[in-house]
Amino acid sequence: MGNTPPVGRKVTLSDIAAGCDVSRATVSLVLRGSPLVNKHTRARVEEELRRQGYVYNRAAANLRRRTSSSIALVLNDLANPFFAEFAAGVDEILGNTGFVTLLGSTSESTERELAVLGSLMEHGPAGIILSPAEGGDAEQILAAVGTQTPLLLFNREVGGDITACDHWDRLFLDNQHGARLATEHLIAKGHRRIAFYGGHLGSSSCRQRRAGYVEAMQAAGLTVETRWMVECIPNRLDAVAQSEQLFTETTAPTAAVCYNDAVALGLMLGLHQRGLQPGRDFALTGFDDIAEAAVSAPPLTTLAVTPRARGRQAAELILQRLQEPSASPRQTIVPVQLLVRASSCAPHAA
Amino acid sequence: MGNTPPVGRKVTLSDIAAGCDVSRATVSLVLRGSPLVNKHTRARVEEELRRQGYVYNRAAANLRRRTSSSIALVLNDLANPFFAEFAAGVDEILGNTGFVTLLGSTSESTERELAVLGSLMEHGPAGIILSPAEGGDAEQILAAVGTQTPLLLFNREVGGDITACDHWDRLFLDNQHGARLATEHLIAKGHRRIAFYGGHLGSSSCRQRRAGYVEAMQAAGLTVETRWMVECIPNRLDAVAQSEQLFTETTAPTAAVCYNDAVALGLMLGLHQRGLQPGRDFALTGFDDIAEAAVSAPPLTTLAVTPRARGRQAAELILQRLQEPSASPRQTIVPVQLLVRASSCAPHAA
DNA sequence: CCTTGGGTTTGGAACGATCCAAATTTACCT
DNA sequence: AGGTAAATTTGGATCGTTCCAAACCCAAGG
């Protein structure tokens, strides 16, 4: 009874139509649950769909309808748990909405970022969520993505002539306020010689966190020593390597606001190597609240940014943008929360 | 000079053809770098492509050519650094090869896994890399992905009737041997009362690791106490909660082989709470070598699995499969390497 | 018996690319 | 100039779906 499904080739809507003797158009209506089609034909068609194991070809449909059902997610560092959580959040929402996530990881390389964006654009995503690589150029990115596809910039500002991109939506953490909170917390603990440790000036988040630190220091009437503002690659390894820079002079800082948790954990190791015990001889704070922060020795005072929730938020923002393509661009700054743990002790010996 | 690019609509190959007075076919040849087209026409067309800001529509091309340029990557837990690194590795290779990664994260839910697979299949991926959720059913997965699309199973076996899926490629860690190495190491340190801590029996990797543990214990003539084989959800939180189970009897173990690093780190916390110092009063080993393992207190002895390299390998395996669709299915077991750190001390007091 | 009209169904032209066989131009040789 | 081979270009069909206007069916009403 009935034809057999085609071999080797995928089952198409025409196969179904032929299989139960109706037109392609009718099958298409059934697939989309149109109320136009008669109950009995619908049943017959649905049976045939099952029988032949039909799978919908969304690419073909998208082509005809001039629509898209994918969102590109381009991240500067997927391996970083912060972004991995973020990606999980994005995918969670997109999956629920019938969109599919096109992933691109740039490993912090701007050339690769452009290549990835170019490649993803060829798949015609409905929108783009981009956490840019450091040192990227706004105009180049704009050239890669065009003006038709809405883009949500996450986490970092991008370099170059930004005015050309003022129609992009933005989702940023309140870096400045977060760093200010951390600094104020250390000041309240009694510290006066406080460093800002780690990060690259190339990234906007680092500049913003430094600004928050400076703000708090000045508000408290404390002097900001430029030799206590140390740059390093924001990972554990370089953070260990550069840590000695804090102790070159006779008067060393007693505390440090660190660019992020990875840097803070690296600094802890560096302190140990100098015979200092973090959380007793030296106070420090991080940023991100990665899983490790709660269980390091000592547990790390840091700023919670709930990356998974940020991912969900980013997905929702881009979906909203698809609803209203011409609404004015939106910049969202999400607050961060100070989590006090044992690493931010009072100064050891006065 | 020349027409203006169309507004609102995307510029197509026909626009270019019209813009420089050649046929669509010629433009198509230029795009694909065919040697057939004359130098001068090529230059003219390329200029026009630039001028109008053309972007290739790969979906349309794929439709016509009956090909695909995407690979689906479905992971049970993207937020886990192990899988995040893996995903980064996959994307690294795929990106270089002109494929795009369709991401799907299932959060360890089998219903969601089926939904995600179904949704991704509609986009017609050339292949699938799947790290299945716990407790999934082979036949259901097979029904979702069909027999046309090659699938690479990563990290875990899947439940149910596997015989139906023996054409799937597989990439697994050598869990059994890894756990055996860890256990032998602890035995060599002088331990005789060794527990196997954490993981779910529902997952094949846990069963394999337990098997390796049992193997080593029996080979050394040591008894395996079933009350020292404790299950827990493989995350830090539950690992802390369940840790007391190791100490219910008068004779407690002096060491534990842990299901993975997260569990081991949780157990460390649990030990602290009992007043035991891991790496001095109690020895333990992990599995995975997550970033944290090297810097925990004490640093964790564990099995390195280099997830990023696994990701690259998975991508390469699936690409090979696309080259030779009918080659016989391949099962790859990758060796793991024991990294000895301070957590695996000798027994404290005999 | 013919009309009217709601409920269903349908052919054929899109969408944006590629393939293929055939047409056109150019180049070269007697 | 004429003829042939090589180089280049091209129309039209096609991939799997959706849209649209038109066609079909059947019962009720005049």
Whether A79 sits inside 8 A of B79 (CB atoms) is: no
The alpha helices in A170-306, defined as continuous H runs, are 175-188, 204-219, 236-242, 261-273
CA A261 to chain centre: 16
Do the Cβ atoms of A107 and A76 come closer than 8 Å? yes
pLDDT band at A3 (very low <50, low <70, confident <90, very high): low
Q: At what angle do helices A110-121 and A138-145 cross, to 10 degrees?
A: 20
In this prediction, residues B122-146 reach a mean pLDDT of 96
> What is the percent of chain B where pLDDT is above 90?
87
**Pairs of residues, one from chain A and one from chain B, whose beta carbons lie less than 8 Å apart:** 148
> How much is the pLDDT for B206?
96
Q: Find the residue closest to D9 using CA and C1' atoms.
A: B26
A23: the nucleotide nearest its CA (via C1') is C10
Residue A209 and residue A121 share a domain = no
Residue A140 and residue A82 share a domain = yes
A24 touches strand C (CB under 7 A): yes
Do the Cβ atoms of A143 and B54 come closer than 8 Å? no
Which tens digits make up the pLDDT trace of A186-209? 999 999 999 999 999 988 999 999
A182 touches strand C (CB under 7 A): no
* Model confidence at B198: pLDDT above 60: yes
Q: Which residues contact B5 (CB under 8 A, 6 or more apart)?
A: B11, B15, B51, B52, B53
> How much is the pLDDT for A349?
63
Residue A281 and residue A196 share a domain = yes
In this prediction, residues B25-33 reach a mean pLDDT of 97
Handedness of CA B318, B323, B325, B326 (dihedral sign): negative
In this prediction, residues A149-156 reach a mean pLDDT of 96
Q: Find the residue closest to D7 using CA and C1' atoms.
A: B36
Residue A192 and residue A45 share a domain = no
Does the residue A36 lie in any domain?
A: yes
* Model confidence at B103: pLDDT above 80: yes
Which tens digits make up the pLDDT trace of A78-87? 998 899 999 9
> How much is the pLDDT for B225?
93
Closest chain A CA to residue B70: A102
Nucleotides on strand D lying under 7 Å from protein C-beta: 7-12, 14-20
Q: What is the CATH number of the domain that holds B80?
A: 3.40.50.2300
In this prediction, residues A141-159 reach a mean pLDDT of 95
Whether B79 sits inside 8 A of A308 (CB atoms) is: yes
Closest chain A CA to residue B57: A122
> How much is the pLDDT for B55?
97
CA distance linking residue B157 with residue B208, whole number of Å: 10
> How much is the pLDDT for A296?
80
Tokens of A167: 């129609």
The alpha helices in chain A, defined as continuous H runs, are 13-20, 24-31, 39-52, 58-65, 81-96, 110-121, 138-145, 175-188, 204-219, 236-242, 261-273, 307-323
Interface test with A, best of B65, B96, B119 (most A CBs within 10 A): B119
B124: the nucleotide nearest its CA (via C1') is D16
Whether B102 sits inside 8 A of A102 (CB atoms) is: yes
Using a CB-CB cut-off of 8 Å, the residues of chain A touching B57 are 63, 122, 124
Residue B198 and residue B186 share a domain = yes
> How much is the pLDDT for A335?
97
Cβ contacts of B14-18, under 8 Å, gap ≥ 24:
B15/B52, B15/B54, B16/B45, B16/B48, B16/B49, B16/B52, B16/B54
Does the residue A62 lie in any domain?
A: no
Q: Say whether residue A59 is in contact with chain B using an 8 A CB cutoff.
A: yes
Using a CB-CB cut-off of 8 Å, the residues of chain B touching A296 are 295-297
Does the residue A340 lie in any domain?
A: no
Residue A298 and residue A185 share a domain = yes
- Residue A347 falls in which region: left (phi positive, over 0), alpha (psi -120 to 50) or beta: beta
Which tens digits make up the pLDDT trace of B228-270? 999 999 988 899 899 999 998 788 999 999 999 999 999 998 9
> How much is the pLDDT for A1?
47
pLDDT band at A350 (very low <50, low <70, confident <90, very high): very low
Does the residue B250 lie in any domain?
A: yes
A67: the nucleotide nearest its CA (via C1') is C15
CA distance linking residue B68 with residue B82, whole number of Å: 28
CA distance linking residue A310 with residue A171, whole number of Å: 9
Whether A107 sits inside 8 A of B92 (CB atoms) is: yes
Does the residue B78 lie in any domain?
A: yes
Residue A229 and residue A321 share a domain = no
Could you give the strand order of the β-sheet that contains B283-285, starting from the edge strand earlier in sequence? B229-230, B194-197, B255-258, B283-285
Whether A81 sits inside 8 A of B78 (CB atoms) is: no
Minimum distance, in Å, between the CA of residue B182 and any CA atom of chain A: 24
* Model confidence at B3: pLDDT above 70: no
pLDDT band at B1 (very low <50, low <70, confident <90, very high): very low
In this prediction, residues B192-217 reach a mean pLDDT of 96
Whether A122 sits inside 8 A of B79 (CB atoms) is: no
Residue A296 and residue A324 share a domain = no
Residue A150 and residue A79 share a domain = yes
Which tens digits make up the pLDDT trace of A118-133? 999 999 999 999 999 9
Residue B248 and residue B189 share a domain = yes
A155 touches strand C (CB under 7 A): no
Domain count, chain A: 3
Does the residue A4 lie in any domain?
A: no
CA atoms in the 13 A half-sphere facing the CB of B110: 13
Which tens digits make up the pLDDT trace of A321-334? 999 999 999 999 99
In this prediction, residues A169-180 reach a mean pLDDT of 98
Which CA distances in Å does A262 have to A269, A274, A314, B332? 11, 19, 24, 34
pLDDT band at B350 (very low <50, low <70, confident <90, very high): very low
Tokens of A53: 């194991």
Do the Cβ atoms of B30 and B37 come closer than 8 Å? yes
> How much is the pLDDT for A2?
53
Range of the domain at B29: 13-56
- Residue A85 falls in which region: left (phi positive, over 0), alpha (psi -120 to 50) or beta: alpha
Do the Cβ atoms of A113 and A135 come closer than 8 Å? no
Does the residue B168 lie in any domain?
A: yes
Does the residue A43 lie in any domain?
A: yes
Whether B79 sits inside 8 A of A84 (CB atoms) is: yes
Q: What is the CATH number of the domain that holds B37?
A: 1.10.260.40
Which tens digits make up the pLDDT trace of A220-244? 999 999 999 999 999 888 898 999 9
Do the Cβ atoms of A16 and A48 come closer than 8 Å? yes
Minimum distance, in Å, between the CA of residue A218 and any CA atom of chain B: 35
Residue B206 and residue B217 share a domain = yes
Q: At what angle do helices A307-323 and A81-96 cross, to 10 degrees?
A: 40
> How much is the pLDDT for B2?
53
> How much is the pLDDT for B294?
85
B319 touches strand C (CB under 7 A): no
**286-345 of A, contacting B, C-beta below 8 A:** 291-292, 295-297, 308
Q: Which of A58, A91, A146 sits opposite B105 (nearest CB)?
A: A91
Paired sense of beta strands A127-131 and A151-154, if any: parallel
| Span CA (A153) to C1' (C21), Å | 50
Q: How many CB atoms neighbour CB A260 within 10 A?
A: 27
Q: Find the residue closest to C15 using CA and C1' atoms.
A: A64
Residue A257 and residue A317 share a domain = no
Nucleotides on strand C lying under 7 Å from protein C-beta: 7-12, 14-20
Average pLDDT, chain A: 94
